[in-house]
Structure 1
Amino acid sequence: MSAEDDTGRGQAPSYCDWMSQLPDDLHNIPLCNLAIPGSHDSMTYDLDVSSSIIEPDNLKGLSKICCARRIVRKWAVTQEESITKQLDAGVRYFDLRIARKPDDTEPTRLYFYHGLCTRTDVETVLRMIHDWAEKHPKEILILALSHFKFPKENEEQLHIHLIGFIKTLFGSKLLHRAWNIPSLKNCWDQGRNIIVSYDYSANQHPEMWGRIPYCYGNSMDPAEVESKLRQALEKTRSSQGFHVCGLNLTLPEDAKVLKYIFRPNDNFTKVLQRSQPTLLQWVKQQAGQRPNIIASDVVTRHNFVSTVVQLNISELVKT
């Protein structure tokens, strides 16, 4: 695994197969005891400025105003690189939020969203993930589908369609829900490398895992984010399931947001780049603390992936 710096966009070292390259002693421990890099709002690099505003609710009425959509996009983009490049960089957990685009002529077509909808539809992106997973059978991918925004009148039908598509597409690659979290070796022995966390009442489908708890700081202050994550880790340390520590910053939902969005030469990505080195210093201190999935914005910057992966080696050295 390369240790070169990845601070520049598009310069991330390849961690395509980091799971298969872990020491043998880590092959038999539960995946919830591995440190796994993840991306927060994974599809935001693809947000469509021509989309209606999906959130926040108080801005939906401004959807017809191009300037309003551009401002929303400017402060909703949290990732710079495509899903394939994130996979190549070593990201193994993906935060995928799904909506039905208003007035779409195709009745079952769905998109990802964060403020606005993406240009690329859900089925196209899932096929891309499937193709990558086929080429890297020993890399275990966790797809967290959540925050569904579907019309009430056909909500259930859209879930049935999406779950059916996932089951058909990934087929024997899907790791079925189990009482115990599998290890890398368990997954390899079964020839399965896709875990789908589906945050909806889909428990009747053994291929769908339930919601994975996601802890985050709900603040723009990195120190406050660190404090809340530290408290969350104290509660989850004895957990036998997956859990996520989100390094992501969160814009205020009240008038304080104006402090950020009217900065003429700034955007959310720049803010995140400035805060990430501080948050990664906290990550480096978590060796032996079993943080499990660590999700971040701008995942291909500042050695985020290598910092998280190294926690596994550091813990092995301690033991």
Structure 2
Amino acid sequence: MSAEAEQVTELSDWMSRLPAGLHNIPLFQLAIPGSHDSMSYDLDMDSFIIEPAHLKRFSRVYGARKVMHKWATTQEENITRQLDAGVRYLDLRIIRKPNDKEPARFYFHHGLCTKTDVESVLRLIRDWAETHPKEILILALSHFEGFDQHVEELHVHLINLIKTIFGTKLFHRSDTPTLQSCWDKGRNIIVSYDYPGNQQLDLWGKIPYYYANTMDPAKVESELCRVLEKARPSHCFFVCGLNLTLPEDSTIFRYVLWPRENFTKVIRRSLPELLQWVRQQTGRSPNIIASDVVTRDNFVATVVQLNHSKNK
């Protein structure tokens, strides 16, 4: 096995194995594999339906929640296994459950709420980061459903929780992150907090996420090509989302009522085509590339390989 091939297969520590020529370029210029709706493997069928809006009224119907679970589950493996597989960007969508006896306890969501709370998952991520100090993790926290009442107090509480858990591992947004600068500072967690009131030096602002809002892989590829040619941000993180997206109107029933289908099956059929598009991006410098079912079909290795091509 060649040295480069070996580097790509050792995915649990792939950043530490990148060539020295890539250690001092901004992380914005590296190709970084990410997972879309990272916590969707943990959805709770006893939860109420959060989205789409026109299905919320069926929350009390178990059959409706079961269908929602099939079509909202975009990841198969837990967070630790995703990180072990080489994922370095996590898409974490936050919710506070209504009528929770602990009003400042938070969960994740995608169609349904998760069973596991935010604090437990963030501690798992911190523990993983401590045992892999040269792997830089980018956590994108967004959506913040159920924050309508006491919104400022809830954000303050959540931000303080993040800072308490990660502490000196947080890389500040005032500095340009490179592998070497993160290693030198001993800071390997970057938190993006998508809330306009975020003024924390420790936390980054919103990371742009580009996707095509379609179930057609060809349209996904076309939209991402447009972004890379005309709208690619400079000097900041950005995400190219390979993910397919269910319709938000009544045409959603064309998919969710298929008795033998689920979202994972549909995604797995489209992923080989989408990964072929990734292989063609050697000279276009996509930054974070996020996908569903990230442990399938060598998704992570395909993204990481773009960095070795860049080094050449």
Q: Which residue, out of 188, 201, 226, partners 1:231?
A: 226
- The alpha carbon displacement at 1:164 in A equals 0.1
Alignment-derived partner of residue 55 in structure 1: 51
Alignment of 1:98-109 (within 5 A): 98-109=94-105
Residue type at the aligned position of 2:124:
M
Alignment-derived partner of residue 168 in structure 2: 172
Alignment-derived partner of residue 250 in structure 2: 255
Alignment of 1:194-233 (within 5 A): 194-233=189-228
- The alpha carbon displacement at 1:300 in A equals 0.1
Alignment-derived partner of residue 189 in structure 1: 184
- The alpha carbon displacement at 1:90 in A equals 0.2
Q: Which residue, out of 133, 138, 149, partners 1:137?
A: 133
Contact 1:14–1:88 (CA under 8 A) maintained in structure 2: no
CA-to-partner distance for each residue in 1:153-204, whole Å, 9 max, x for gaps? 22211111110010011000000112x5311001000000000000002442
2:155 pairs with 1:159: yes
- The alpha carbon displacement at 1:3 in A equals 5.9
Q: Which residue, out of 301, 306, 309, partners 1:311?
A: 306
Alignment-derived partner of residue 95 in structure 1: 91
Residue type at the aligned position of 1:59:
L
Alignment-derived partner of residue 10 in structure 1: none
SS at match of 2:156: helix
Q: Which residue, out of 37, 40, 49, partners 1:41?
A: 37
Q: TM-score, normalised by structure 2?
A: 0.96
Task: Give the total of aligned pairs.
Answer: 309
Contact 1:236–1:243 (CA under 8 A) maintained in structure 2: no
RMSD: 1.6
CA-to-partner distance for each residue in 1:107-166, whole Å, 9 max, x for gaps? 111100000000000000000000000000000000000011024222211111110010
Alignment-derived partner of residue 297 in structure 2: 302
Q: Which residue, out of 16, 30, 47, partners 2:26?
A: 30
Contact 1:202–1:208 (CA under 8 A) maintained in structure 2: no
CA-to-partner distance for each residue in 1:27-47, whole Å, 9 max, x for gaps? 000000000000000000000
- The alpha carbon displacement at 1:296 in A equals 0.3
Contact 2:4–2:308 (CA under 8 A) maintained in structure 1: no
Gaps of 5+ in 1: 5-12
In 2, distance between residues paired with 1:223 and 1:181? Answer: 34
Alignment-derived partner of residue 284 in structure 1: 279
Q: TM-score, normalised by structure 1?
A: 0.94
Contact 1:52–1:102 (CA under 8 A) maintained in structure 2: no
Alignment-derived partner of residue 86 in structure 1: 82
Alignment-derived partner of residue 9 in structure 1: none
Gaps of 5+ in 2: none
